[in-house]
Chains A and B, each alone.
Chain A
Amino acid sequence: MTGLFEEIRDEPAADVPVRRVAISVNGERRVANVEPRLLLAHLLRQGLRLTGTHTGCDTTNCGACTVLFDGRPIKSCTMLAVQADGHEVTTVEGLAGTSELHPIQEGFKDEHGLQCGFCTPGMMLAAKALLDENPDPTEDEVRWALSGNLCRCTGYQNIVKSVLWAAKKMRGES
């Protein structure tokens, strides 16, 4: 979004107000001009090209767009980008650096907690919010914490195992 030359596309119609927002995304300050109606999910995906955040529905049921908002899981399809002004957002791309994996990512890989991979980013962030608050959850607590995230491939069982695997690793027990 910076550079010697920036092509101005998607210029709003004259009567559409534009707001400047500054959001900390994965620890990096990002500044953008947005229409007030722009959904946070679309700012992340199209504006910031962080396409790991997915959209799977239009009624806030599926949770594929889950990101962490000041550390708490929110569905980014149901928040306006302007509402994120001044806040911290973590997406799947911010879970770990490129050369290592977060224990939750490792857990999903080791326990076969994903297939098509479409729900995975949102699922992992919901899991992170749970483990940040409750480092030693029961299986039931994991299922409840993930009940806002739909998966069509795994039947959930390996996702639950993935999260418990990660919890154990994060507690230093494996």
Chain B
Amino acid sequence: MKFIDNDQRPMGHGRMLRKEDPRFVRGKGLFVDDVQLPGMLHLAILRAPVAHGRLVSIDVTVAEAHPKVKLVVTGAMLAQRKLAWMPTLSHDVQAVLVTDKVRFQGQEVAFVVAEDRYAARDALELIDVVYEPLPVVVDARAALDDGAPVIRDDLAGRTDNRIFDWETGNRAATDAVFAAADVVVRQDMVYPRVHPAPLETCAAVADHDAVDGALTLWCTTQAPHAHRTLYALIAGLPEHQIRVISPDIGGGFGNKVPIYPGYVCAIVASMLTGRPVKWAEDRSENLTSTCFARDYRMRGEIAATRDGRIRAIRTDVLADHGAFNGVAAPSRYPAGFFGVFTGSYDIEAAYASMTAVYTNKAPGGIAYACSFRITEAVYLIERLVDCLAHELDMDPVELRLKNLLRPDQFPYTTTTGWTYDSGDYEATLREALRIADYAGLRREQAEKRARGELMGIGVSCFTEAVGAGPRKDMDIAGLAMSDGAELQVHPTGTAVLRVSCQSQGQGHETTFAQIVAEQIGIAPADIKVVHGDTEHTPFGLGTYGSRSTSVSGAAAVVAARKVRDKAMLIASAMLEISVTDLVWDAGRIHVVGDPNSSVTIQDVARWAYGSGELPEGVDGGLAAQVHYDPSSLTYPNGAYICVVDVDPGTAVVTVRRFIAVDDCGTRINPMIIEGQVHRGLTDGVGMALMEMIAFDDDGNCLGASLMDYLLPSALEVPDWETGFTVTPSPHHPIGAKGVGESATVGSPPAVVNAVLDALRPYGLRHIDMPLTPSRVWEAISSTGLRESTA
């Protein structure tokens, strides 16, 4: 008997098991490092041991003599081919291999290609490099000091480490509100450097065909089409000769958006050797050299009336971008969407200023489910609101309820110029309060406090901005942020949907089939979703910033509706009646008032490819393609409540409960949304309590392995409690908003707010993440109160 996986035929939205799972649970996924091609060679990269140092000499003769080594390449050799530097996604350049000097520890210096990966790594140890150490810039503030070492002396005319200054909002209006405000609270806070650390690291297999000049690149990329275009620009290869295949990806989380030197090295190596070449980095390479996240030092200020009416927000940010500006943000948004820092509140005036600097660290900044810096924006506002509650001695929920935007205010344009599409924030928060039994929690806390126990309740009410974005002002490297979808219905009534987004575990193969199923009445099991291969999918910008549902999802809907419109026309010929006398009913087209006079979408498909007569001006076949330009972003929101216990003896924080209510409009697959939320909440607990990429004064990376970069295991997270409200996006074809990053964005302030709430007896207002036992212990000790309360 044949076993049929997922033998279920639901139609449209609802819980549906994943079409992806049968291969993954059998070990039959295809990840990049699983690709093995005849004659394939292995590439390994020599990395800099110092953070800042001039390259004095590099001797590769011994390595080249290794019997299994085919090729050793240095920066000088790449420079001869004008490939030693490559453009980043933000109008900067990044060294592929060092030619002049090292700018961060772990930077790529040379590469070896050998018969196997062990030999390639052996040969790395045979390369002799001499560096002349240079003074290191680790602290972002010190980067701006007069006389600070200039990291980017490769850029003409560079005399300092300032990358850009940026501002948003109205400074004068904001200053005026602050000057007249009853209450002003100021709090400095650091969102520390963390790393998305997908379980699968970055990898590529390059296969350049010397005969026909075609390049095939298997690669861990979240944006295969954009990468293809950039390779055409970088390497000067004709774009039609480049095929990028992003197969199964073992998690991305923004880490796999940029182009890394390793990919370029693999391509060069395949061209030079005439053989396929695989590059697969190990964990320490991933943590030390690929796209980090956050690293914002924020001075936040909030102005309010004495009775708790928030009036204005002001902030000044110092952004550490590392040695190359590689942020993957829309071109006109160097600080991403940080401008949404006014959050879920009705605020009169706001102003943000920012300076971004180079330091001797790996490049990155936008990654780890940040929705283009909204993690930082939400952390700022949600911490500031709690600091204000602390100052006013007011319940943080009461303060939020007083200031949340009301449903009748949408569409709402913030004082910094973002037009929120829809929301019922109070309903979302009330649902969270209900699930949590907030009043009961406060009673429990009061009892425990009386006994000297430290229990904390933290709240976060956030607004996201996802689905970048309208082509009129959003592009990456000159490419409009639109996405394609092609839907083809076969003669026998099954279908293929080809999309430009690229799943890294978010379940697109399932949910996109559901989206199309609801529109055209073909069961999801009969719809195959193809993604990740530039040869077989339409152009688009890929998956990050929770943009798949908002943009590609909309494209799939519109393509399906085009197919449906055509099916109606064909049905009118089949039933010999005017199309205006037909109605669509979930896969059946019937005559108005006569449900028995009908054809199915499958009947229409057969007719479309058959010999039956077609209406005037209608072609045969049943397919449609769309390139969707979103009119706006979608703005999902959420209300989170975290409950922690802090051990007064050891300062260990335990997250006991976490209640997450999300509103992402129309919900396509609740099971998958819940899984996305669970993931993001785990990110939040990790960032708030455990994770940090730190550096010592010499620029040595101190978070370079999973021994030091701590990720939550099953023991550090609780059973999550999730809920939802539904406020559809008015401009999205099915009212759906993105949601993938909401929990990562919304949860860290809830955890931190909870810990600070637990520490109220000590009078502490803020501690910087990660709230490790040692940091909490130090903070408690600094109050001098520990002895008396312990």
Contact = CB atoms under 8 A, between A and B. Distances in A.
Interface of A: 9-10, 13, 35, 37-38, 42, 45-46, 49-59, 61-62, 64, 91-93, 95-96, 98-101, 105, 108-110, 112, 114-121, 124, 139, 142-144, 146-160
A94 B275 CA distance: 33
B675 A112 contact: yes
Interface stretch (B88-96, B244-252, B389-397): B244-252
B26 A93 contact: yes
Contact of B17 (A110, A116, A156, A157): A110
B26 A92 contact: yes
B118 A147 contact: no
Given A154-B679, A155-B678, A101 B251 contact: no
B619 interface: no
B36 to A, nearest CB: 7
B307 interface: no
B675 to A, nearest CB: 5
A51 B31 CA distance: 9
Interface in B408-454: none
Contacts of B22: 101, 109
B199 A64 contact: yes
Interface string B25-41: 11111110110100000
Given A58-B283, A154-B679, 15 more contacts: A54-B199, A56-B283, A64-B199, A109-B6, A112-B675, A116-B198, A117-B21, A118-B505, A120-B24, A124-B25, A150-B199, A152-B679, A152-B711, A155-B681, A158-B674
A152 B115 contact: no
B18 interface: yes
Given A38-B118, A49-B36, A114 B21 contact: yes
B282 interface: yes
Nearest to B506: A115
Contacts of B707: 59, 61
B31 A54 contact: yes
Contacts of A110: 17
A149 B707 CA distance: 14
A139 B711 CA distance: 20
Which of B18, B24, B36, B198 has the most CB atoms of chain A within a 10 A radius of its CB? B24
B115 A9 contact: yes
21 contacts: A37-B118, A51-B33, A54-B31, A54-B199, A57-B282, A62-B706, A92-B27, A93-B26, A109-B5, A110-B17, A115-B506, A115-B507, A116-B198, A116-B249, A146-B714, A147-B713, A150-B199, A150-B713, A154-B682, A155-B679, A160-B719
Nearest to B30: A51
Interface in B96-151: 115-118
B163 to A, nearest CB: 30
A62 B27 CA distance: 17
B634 to A, nearest CB: 22
A9 B22 CA distance: 34
A56 B34 CA distance: 13
B198 A152 contact: yes
B749 to A, nearest CB: 18
A113 B677 CA distance: 13
A52 B199 contact: no
Contact of A53 (B3, B18, B27, B672): B27
A37 B679 CA distance: 37
Given A56-B199, A115-B675, A152 B283 contact: no
Contacts of B677: 155
A142 B250 CA distance: 24
A99 to B, nearest CB: 5
B706 A160 contact: no
A156 B199 contact: no
Given A115-B505, A152-B198, A154-B678, A105 B714 contact: no
Nearest to B15: A112
Given A59-B283, A59-B706, A92-B27, A151 B199 contact: yes
Contacts of B706: 57, 59, 61-62, 150
Interface string B234-253: 00000000000000111101
Nearest to A46: B36
A120 B25 contact: yes
Contacts of B614: none
B717 A58 contact: no
Contact of A153 (B26, B675, B705): B675
A116 B680 CA distance: 14
A142 B714 CA distance: 9
A51 B27 contact: yes
B284 interface: yes
Interface in B671-716: 671-672, 674-675, 677-682, 705-707, 711, 713-715
B712 to A, nearest CB: 8
Contacts of A49: 36
B250 A54 contact: yes
A51 B33 CA distance: 9
Contacts of B505: 114-118, 153
A114 B24 contact: yes
B68 to A, nearest CB: 7
Contacts of A98: 26
A90 B486 CA distance: 42
Contact of A121 (B27, B117, B200): B27
Contact of B18 (A112, A154, A159): A112
B478 interface: no
Nearest to B719: A157
Nearest to A9: B115
B67 interface: yes
Nearest to B23: A117
Nearest to B114: A10
B572 to A, nearest CB: 42
Interface string B524-543: 00000000000000000000
A156 B25 contact: no
A64 to B, nearest CB: 6
A105 B18 CA distance: 13
A93 B34 CA distance: 14
Contacts of A93: 26-27
B282 A58 contact: yes
B675 A147 contact: no
Contact of B678 (A100, A146, A157): A157
A160 B507 CA distance: 20
A119 B682 contact: no
Nearest to B284: A58
Given A92-B27, A151-B199, A157 B115 contact: no
A158 B199 contact: no
B118 A117 contact: no
B214 to A, nearest CB: 25
Contact of A99 (B3, B506, B675, B680): B3
A112 B671 contact: yes
Contacts of A64: 199
Given A38-B118, A56-B199, A153 B18 contact: no
Nearest to A57: B283
Given A152-B679, A157-B720, A101 B3 contact: yes
A71 to B, nearest CB: 19
Contact of A155 (B2, B18, B682): B682
Contacts of B27: 50-53, 91-93, 121
A95 B24 CA distance: 12
A95 to B, nearest CB: 8
Contacts of A55: 33
Nearest to A140: B715
Interface string B460-485: 00000000000000000000000000
B705 A58 contact: yes
Nearest to A104: B25
Nearest to A98: B26
B504 interface: yes
B20 interface: yes
B678 A108 contact: no
A139 B719 CA distance: 10
